[in-house]
């Protein structure tokens, strides 16, 4: 249009010049309107595109949020699962704390858990496992009373398609999901190395030691083995090594009947330690030191905090950590994830010097 107008404007005497001006003005206005409309359309398209992109992003975020939420919900792999738990012996304070943790954590995870006390008896546990099989539980978690007594019933569970997890103690059965525990031998090593330094520094490398052990479960024997191996290069006289059967009264009687002087008592778990402590105090003995393994709870921690004359230390095994690790293994199994065949939790020696750390966690 501009070219036409310029060419036309050369004809100064043209009678149509006024008309051309009018046409030119009209065309300019029309062109401007066309450009403005085009600009508005472009801006509108941009706005629509921005809104569309925003919508996509919001949808994506919502979808992502839904996906994450679903994954989080499924992450436990335990919602609605029925799990049978066989304890080894609820008469022990630590085992009772383990039972409490199984119950408490089950509520948070949406698990239907049935906990039974094996009372240190393989036959009792066999009946419990048979009941779990008959009721078609989704999984059975077992703290075996001994190494071989449960093998036949565990095989029945496997044949029925029910997976098995061991916690705390082990058994001579390999077809399991995982074994969640702590290193029993290392438990003994922790006490043994601590005593090694004390005996070397305070007793010139010589000491009389009484050992309170148990014939079952096998973990207690492993703990005692760890203690002895740590002390093997010292001059140790083991004045007694007897089975107290997890019973305080029997442990007390064993210590009471030892005629030789005792520098240290080592107990496989806290019932033995407290039985020894009561015997020594009844005898008026304020020099013999008592150490136990697998200790936990108010009684152990309060006794250490009070700086008892006899009870001096225990290897702490957290029931909460053991149970949470067990549930995590079970969750991973049901989620189809890879599961380690052996899971060990952390161990620490608790004395009067650091007991406050554990009292705050209890």
Q: Report pLDDT for 276.
A: 99
Beta bridge partners of 141: 85, 165
CB atoms within 10 A of CB 166: 24
Q: Report pLDDT for 63.
A: 34
Give yes or no for residue 132 having a pLDDT over 50: yes
Q: Report pLDDT for 158.
A: 98
Give yes or no for residue 29 having a pLDDT over 80: no
Give yes or no for residue 294 having a pLDDT over 70: yes
Give yes or no for residue 362 having a pLDDT over 70: no
Give yes or no for residue 204 having a pLDDT over 80: yes
Mean pLDDT of all residues in the chain? 84
Give yes or no for residue 251 having a pLDDT over 70: yes
Residues 302-307 have a mean pLDDT of 97
Strand 178-181, strand 139-142: pairing: unpaired
Residues 159-169 have a mean pLDDT of 97
Asked if residue 334 lies in contact with residue 311, where contact means CB atoms within 8 angstroms, the answer is no
Give yes or no for residue 110 having a pLDDT over 50: yes
Q: Which residues contact 86 (CB under 8 A, 6 or more apart)?
A: 116, 118, 125, 128, 129, 140, 141, 142, 143, 144
pLDDT band for 317, please (50, 70, 90 cuts): confident
Half-sphere exposure of 102 (CA within 13 A, CB side): 26
CB atoms within 10 A of CB 200: 15
pLDDT band for 297, please (50, 70, 90 cuts): confident
70-106: pLDDT as tens digits: 233 343 679 999 999 999 999 888 899 999 999 999 9
Burial 39-53 (b: 16+ CB within 10 A, else e): eeeeeeeeeeeeeee
- Spatial strand order of the sheet with 342-344 comes to 112-117, 82-87, 139-142, 164-167, 178-181, 342-344
Give yes or no for residue 13 having a pLDDT over 90: no
Give yes or no for residue 57 having a pLDDT over 60: no
Residues 208-212 have a mean pLDDT of 99
**Integer Cα distance of 197 and 203 in angstroms:** 10
Q: H or E segment at 230?
A: helix 218-231
Residues 134-158 have a mean pLDDT of 97
Q: Which residues contact 138 (CB under 8 A, 6 or more apart)?
A: 81, 82, 83, 162, 163, 334
221-231: pLDDT as tens digits: 999 999 999 99
Burial 71-83 (b: 16+ CB within 10 A, else e): eeeeebbbeebeb
Smallest CA-to-CA distance from 223 within 164, 259, 261, 182 is with 182
pLDDT band for 353, please (50, 70, 90 cuts): very high
Residues 160-178 have a mean pLDDT of 96
Residues 288-315 have a mean pLDDT of 95
Q: Is 139 left (phi over 0), alpha (psi -120 to 50) or beta?
A: beta
């Amino acid at each position: 249009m501009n070219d036409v107008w310029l060419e036309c404007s050369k004809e100064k005497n043209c009678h149509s010049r006024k008309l051309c001006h009018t046409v030119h003005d009209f065309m300019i206005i029309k062109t401007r309107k066309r450009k403005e409309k085009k600009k508005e359309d472009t801006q509108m398209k941009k706005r629509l595109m921005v809104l569309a992109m925003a919508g996509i992003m919001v949808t994506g975020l919502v979808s992502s949020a839904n996906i994450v939420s679903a994954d989080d919900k499924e992450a436990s792999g335990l919602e609605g699962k029925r799990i049978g738990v066989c304890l080894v012996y609820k008469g022990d304070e630590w085992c009772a704390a383990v039972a409490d943790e199984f119950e408490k954590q089950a509520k948070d995870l949406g698990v239907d858990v049935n906990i039974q006390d094996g009372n240190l008896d393989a036959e009792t546990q066999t009946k419990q496992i048979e009941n779990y099989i008959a009721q078609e539980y989704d999984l059975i978690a077992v703290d075996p009373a001994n190494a071989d007594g449960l093998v036949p019933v565990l095989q029945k569970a496997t044949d029925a398609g029910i997976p098995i997890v061991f916690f705390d103690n082990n058994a001579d059965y390999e077809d399991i999901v995982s074994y969640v525990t702590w290193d029993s031998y290392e438990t003994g090593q922790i006490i043994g190395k601590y005593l090694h330094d004390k005996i070397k520094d305070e007793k010139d490398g010589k000491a009389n030691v009484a050992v309170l052990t148990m014939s079952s479960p096998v973990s207690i024997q492993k703990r005692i083995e760890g203690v002895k191996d740590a002390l093997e290069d010292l001059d140790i006289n083991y004045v007694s090594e007897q089975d107290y059967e997890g019973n305080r009264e029997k442990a007390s009687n064993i210590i009471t009947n030892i005629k030789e002087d005792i520098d240290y008592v080592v107990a496989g778990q806290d019932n033995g330690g407290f039985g020894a402590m009561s015997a020594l105090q009844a005898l008026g003995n304020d020099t013999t030191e008592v150490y136990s393994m697998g200790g936990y709870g108010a009684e152990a921690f309060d006794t250490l905090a009070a700086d008892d004359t006899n009870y001096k230390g225990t290897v702490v095994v957290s029931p909460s950590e053991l149970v949470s690790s067990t549930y995590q293994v079970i969750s991973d199994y049901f989620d189809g994830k890879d599961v380690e065949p052996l899971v060990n939790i952390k161990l620490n020696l608790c004395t009067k010097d650091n007991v406050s750390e554990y009292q705050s966690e209890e």
